[in-house]
Amino acid sequence: MLIKTMFSGFGGQGVLSTGQTLAKAAMLENKHVTYLPSYGAEVRGGTANCTVTISDKDIASPIASEPEFVVALNQPSFFRFQNLLRAGGFLLYNSSLVKPASVRGDIETLGIPSTGLAADLGNVRVSNMVILGAFIRISNLISLKLLLKNLPDILGPGKLRLLEINKKAFQAGYNYIKE
Amino acid sequence: MNKQLMYGTYAIGEAAIQAGCTCYFGYPITPQNELPEYMSRRLLEVPGGVFIQAESELAAINMVLGASVAGARVMTSSSSPGISLKQEGISFLAGSELPAVIVNIVRGGPGLGNIAPAQSDYFQATRGGGHGDYKTIVLAPASVQEMADLTFLAFDLSDQYRMPALILGDGMLGQIMEPVVIPARKKKKLPEKDYILTGARGRPARLVKSLILDTRQMEDHNWKLVRKFQRVKQNETRWESFLLEDAEMVVIAYGTAARIAKGSINRLKKEDPDIKIGMIRPITLSPFPEKIIRETAGKVSDFFVFEMSTGQMVEDVKLSLEGRGTVHFYGRPGGVSPTPAEVARIMARHYPQSKSTGKK
Amino acid sequence: MKKVYSRPKSLKKVPMHYCPGCGHSIIHRLIAELLDEMSLRETAICVPPAGCAVLAYNYLDIDMVEAPHGRATAVATGIKRVRPDNMVFSYQGDGDLAAIGTAETLHTANRGELISVIFVNNAIYGMTGGQMAPTTLAGQITTTSPSGRNTKTEGPPIRVCELLSTLENTTYLERVAVNSPANIKKTKKAIKKAFQHQQKKTGFSLVEILSSCPTNWKMDPLKSCRWIDEIMVKEFPLGVIKEVKC
């Protein structure tokens, strides 16, 4: 198993912390993992992205040629990064902010109103964790149960006050797909 | 220490602290600022810890010289343009036979270039870099774990052979996060630092210098440095080989380029299990693992060198082969990190036709 | 018979290479006397410059490390931070300290590093053969200012003590000269004070010493001494420029 996922969105949407959360959770499940934040030309234009690779074996390249998954938190990312996806890949997007126009025919797409769901929880800033919850359900890369268990470790002592809202966010996203 | 997800720059910083580094001097430059930031926090917690944000890279490397001659384990870091400025001090460290660890998180150049990962400082690093006849030890990590491991090694080798050791990374290695275990320091038996300046109490005064006006003595000193480097070459040359046993073509790449190339080899093998491409990844760029490359030429005739530069290490590969084999080169300079798919396409093009299985 | 004069223990028993009338030998001796008198020989670490005094290690019998041209205070910073209990001083000329090493000088002073700087100002580059220095006087002829220093295009001489005096962490700055017995006595006192400031950890201390270079000034030693009094001192007034009580 070697799965590469690209998270992308505007700077400030929590793109990098979403990727880091997934990477840490996978590491705590004893998987091999790399997290590669974007930089250079790709940072410009206000988008941020990162690539998380999860594998049961040693990971060769942290750079993805054709990721299996793209998680797009805004419209520009939706357009730009679906082109990178491999044929048969999965594009998950935040349907509160993204209009799913001009989609490739050889990929699967699914929208989840993560900003809306986060607003329902009382904190739009956890929109990224809502979509990560949905991603976990779709990708089956890591276990939600273990993620919730390891969450204090993942957040670290500085962010423990956000433990409950993050848990709710993951569950909201996860259950949205279940329904 | 438990396994944790860490940035490459932090892994170097924490390994340095664990290795007994008590002094850091540097000047900010992207993409390595996370390292001085980390050291500024951590050295506060270390007894006798010294952190100075110097007024320039020149000042920083000379503070390194001062701390080194005073007996401390000391580190500095920068990125390409800043490393150019440090060359004066590196030459003096080499001439004065002082240890120090210098980290270069390489970015695209020449000039101000850009801040993307590159491997364009290979010549500068492996040829000494500054003026005069000398070489330094150059270590090229390819993962976050190796950034930690090679930092320990850099301090030990530097102390053991009394010469500067460079860690040659790049912007990608600095900024990726991977699981890493920072081990506790295994104390190696190292020569006593009988040259350091502590004040001439109960012993004759000591002098540490690189000025040798007598030409014959200077010549002797030069040959002494050469002999020392030969010992390093004999004892410390390191590389990783991958699928070398039955390879029909051997890829040679280091650092980030080696990670990408490994991904490329894996892709090609997935498409065609009969394809036989192996890899030699130099871990020490200086001394360069020439012996293993030359020996491999007995079994393999095609070598494929991939670098994120216009071609620098490829010259060492050719020198190592001494005319044996055919060397193919693919380079992406300027801060471009190609994907494994792209490099795989080029690799396949150079794969010896007669050995190809015919499958696409 | 009472012995009134002898070689200081901190001075090696070798003849010096300096030109006749050069101030370096006097300054070396003053430092050696103080190292003896203040019992500093066993804790002193000196960073000599690139320049004529690079060979100071042949004369001072203490621990020494050579620095690249201009970087002496950066090297001294590294040493002092690792060994705060040692007496760390640099010995630098005008080109070293006020041209190529200006940034290091300024920032070492600004950080208030607890080191002492012995700054020898002879208004010329001695070792390289008499080129213009940052402290060369207006109109002074050197091998690279053949028609005299033009202050409009080459700037006026830099007054280092005054420049550094604006920095909060400099605590002792004095300008002296070694061109007469009286001045030599004052120089010794000044260096002693600088060392005391370091011992008491008040801040950065520097003694600027006007010193002659008869060879490159193209004067005989006696005339050189007079030139300091009559010409140089007008540009570089002697005395304590700044002292924070320690």
Task: State pLDDT tens for residues B67-76.
Answer: 999 999 999 9
CB atoms within 10 A of CB A30: 10
Structure-token match 């640099």, residue found: C90
Residue of chain A with shortest Cα separation from B116: A40
Which of B58, B70, B88 shows the shortest C-beta gap to C82?
B70
For A44-80, the pLDDT digits (tens) are 556 789 999 999 999 999 999 999 999 999 999 999 9
Residue C234, domain extent:
24-243
Cα–Cα distance, A114 to A94 (Å, whole number): 6
DSSP category for residue B206: -
Contacts of C17 (CB under 8 A, 6+ apart): C55, C58
When scoring B62, B208, B214 by the number of chain C Cβ atoms within 10 A, the one with the most, hence best to mutate, is B62
For C52-94, the pLDDT digits (tens) are 999 999 999 999 999 999 999 999 999 999 999 999 999 999 9
Residue C208 lies in a domain: yes
Contact state of A36 with B335 under an 8 Å Cβ cutoff: no
Which of A20, A27, A61 shows the shortest C-beta gap to B340?
A61
Structure-token match 């390292």, residue found: B35
User: Which chain B residues are within 8 Å of C109, Cβ to Cβ?
Assistant: none
Residue B166 has φ and ψ, to the nearest 5°, of -105, 140
Q: What is the CA A81 to chain-centroid distance, rounded?
A: 13
| Structural tokens at position B264 | 């490329």
Count of the separate structural domains present in chain A: 1
For strands B326-331 and C63-65, give the pairing. unpaired
Cα–Cα distance, A67 to B241 (Å, whole number): 27
Which of C57, C78, C104 shows the shortest C-beta gap to B25?
C78
Count of the separate structural domains present in chain C: 1
| Structural tokens at position B97 | 């036979």
Contact state of A37 with B335 under an 8 Å Cβ cutoff: no
Beta strands in A1-140 (DSSP E): 2-10, 32-37, 47-55, 69-72, 90-94, 108-112
Can you spell out the DSSP letters for B125-150?
Answer: HHT-SSSSS---EEE---SHHHHHHH
| Structural tokens at position C34 | 């103080």
User: Which chain C residues are within 8 Å of B88, Cβ to Cβ?
Assistant: 68, 71
Residue of chain A with shortest Cα separation from B265: A60
Which of B4, B265, B337 shows the shortest C-beta gap to A63?
B337
3-state secondary structure of B352: coil
Task: Compute the radius of gyration of chain B from its Cα atoms.
Answer: 21
| Structural tokens at position A65 | 């040629």
B265–chain A Cβ distance below 8 A for any pair: yes
User: Which chain B residues are within 8 Å of A63, Cβ to Cβ?
Assistant: 172, 259-260, 263, 337-340
Contact state of A33 with B5 under an 8 Å Cβ cutoff: yes
What average pLDDT does the segment B117-141 reach? 97
Cβ atoms of A92 and A135 closer than 8 Å: yes
For B103-114, the pLDDT digits (tens) are 999 999 999 999
B171–chain A Cβ distance below 8 A for any pair: yes
Which of B56, B64, B197 shows the shortest C-beta gap to C63?
B197
Contact state of B96 with C65 under an 8 Å Cβ cutoff: yes
User: How many contacts, defined by CB atoms under 8 Å, are there between A and B?
Assistant: 72
- Look at residue B356 and tell me whether its pLDDT is greater than 60: no
For strands C87-93 and C116-121, give the pairing. parallel
B25–chain C Cβ distance below 8 A for any pair: yes
Under the banding of pLDDT at 50, 70 and 90, the label for residue A40 is: very low
Please tell me the predicted confidence (pLDDT) of residue A179. 58
List the 80-109 stretch of B: residues with Cβ below 8 A of A: none
Instruction: State the nearest Cα–Cα gap between A45 and chain B, in angstroms.
Output: 16
Can you spell out the DSSP letters for chain C?
Answer: --------TTB-SS---PPTT-SHHHHHHHHHHHHHHTT-TTTEEEE--SSGGGGGGGTB-SEEE---TT-HHHHHHHHHHH-TTSEEEEEEEHHIIIIITHHHHHHHHHHT-S-EEEEEE-SEETTTTSEE-TTPPTT--BTTBTT---HHHH-PPP-HHHHHHTSTTEEEEEEEE-SSHHHHHHHHHHHHHHHHHHHTT-SEEEEEEE---HHHHTS-HHHHHHHIIIIIHHHS--EEEEE---
- Look at residue A170 and tell me whether its pLDDT is greater than 50: yes
The chains in contact with chain B, meaning 3 or more Cβ pairs closer than 8 Å, are A, C
Please tell me the predicted confidence (pLDDT) of residue B2. 87
Instruction: State the nearest Cα–Cα gap between C120 and chain B, in angstroms.
Output: 21
- Look at residue A43 and tell me whether its pLDDT is greater than 90: no
Instruction: State the nearest Cα–Cα gap between C100 and chain B, in angstroms.
Output: 11
Residue C181 lies in a domain: yes
User: Which chain B residues are within 8 Å of A66, Cβ to Cβ?
Assistant: 339, 341
User: Which chain B residues are within 8 Å of C103, Cβ to Cβ?
Assistant: 55-56, 58-59
| Structural tokens at position C72 | 């002496």
Contact state of A40 with B172 under an 8 Å Cβ cutoff: no
End-to-end CA distance of chain B: 47
Residue C18 lies in a domain: no
Contact state of B259 with A36 under an 8 Å Cβ cutoff: no
Residue of chain B with shortest Cα separation from C106: B55
Under the banding of pLDDT at 50, 70 and 90, the label for residue B355 is: low
- Look at residue A39 and tell me whether its pLDDT is greater than 90: no
Share of chain A above pLDDT 70, in %: 95
Residue of chain A with shortest Cα separation from B173: A36
List the 197-226 stretch of B: residues with Cβ below 8 A of C: 197-202, 205-211
Share of chain A above pLDDT 90, in %: 85
For B317-346, the pLDDT digits (tens) are 999 999 999 999 999 999 999 999 999 999
Which of B265, B335, B341 shows the shortest C-beta gap to A65?
B341
Look up the CATH number of the domain holding residue C111.
Answer: 3.40.50.970
For B218-244, the pLDDT digits (tens) are 999 999 999 999 999 999 999 999 999
- Domains of chain B (ranges; CATH) run 4-236 (3.40.50.970), 239-355 (3.40.50.920)
Residue A144's identity, in one-letter code, is L
A61–chain B Cβ distance below 8 A for any pair: yes
Under the banding of pLDDT at 50, 70 and 90, the label for residue B359 is: very low
Residue B231 has φ and ψ, to the nearest 5°, of -65, -40
User: Which chain A residues are within 8 Å of B3, Cβ to Cβ?
Assistant: 27
List the 63-82 stretch of A: residues with Cβ below 8 A of B: 63-66
Q: What's the whole-number average pLDDT of chain B?
A: 96
Residue A44, domain extent:
2-178
- Look at residue A150 and tell me whether its pLDDT is greater than 90: yes
Please tell me the predicted confidence (pLDDT) of residue B353. 79
For strands B73-78 and B100-106, give the pairing. parallel
What average pLDDT does the segment B150-165 reach? 98
Half-sphere exposure for A11 (CA within 13 Å, toward CB): 9
Which run of H or E residues covers position A19? helix A15-28
A39–chain B Cβ distance below 8 A for any pair: yes
Q: Is the peptide bond before B204 cis (omega within 30 degrees of 0)?
A: no
Instruction: State the nearest Cα–Cα gap between C81 and chain B, in angstroms.
Output: 7
What average pLDDT does the segment C167-187 reach? 98
Under the banding of pLDDT at 50, 70 and 90, the label for residue A41 is: very low
Contact state of B263 with A60 under an 8 Å Cβ cutoff: yes
Which run of H or E residues covers position A80? helix A75-82
Which of B59, B198, B205 shows the shortest C-beta gap to C103?
B59
Residue C1 lies in a domain: no
Contact state of C86 with B198 under an 8 Å Cβ cutoff: yes
End-to-end CA distance of chain C: 40
User: Which chain A residues are within 8 Å of B339, Cβ to Cβ?
Assistant: 61, 63-66
Contact state of A62 with B176 under an 8 Å Cβ cutoff: yes
Please tell me the predicted confidence (pLDDT) of residue C205. 98
| Structural tokens at position B47 | 């007894």
Q: What is the CA C233 to chain-centroid distance, rounded?
A: 16
Which run of H or E residues covers position B277? strand B277-282
User: Which chain B residues are within 8 Å of A39, Cβ to Cβ?
Assistant: 31, 115-116, 171, 175
B339–chain A Cβ distance below 8 A for any pair: yes
Structure-token match 């006397």, residue found: C33
Contact state of C43 with B199 under an 8 Å Cβ cutoff: yes
Contact state of A40 with B341 under an 8 Å Cβ cutoff: no
Instruction: State the nearest Cα–Cα gap between C56 and chain B, in angstroms.
Output: 11
Please tell me the predicted confidence (pLDDT) of residue B360. 42
What average pLDDT does the segment C165-184 reach? 98
Instruction: State the nearest Cα–Cα gap between C108 and chain B, in angstroms.
Output: 9
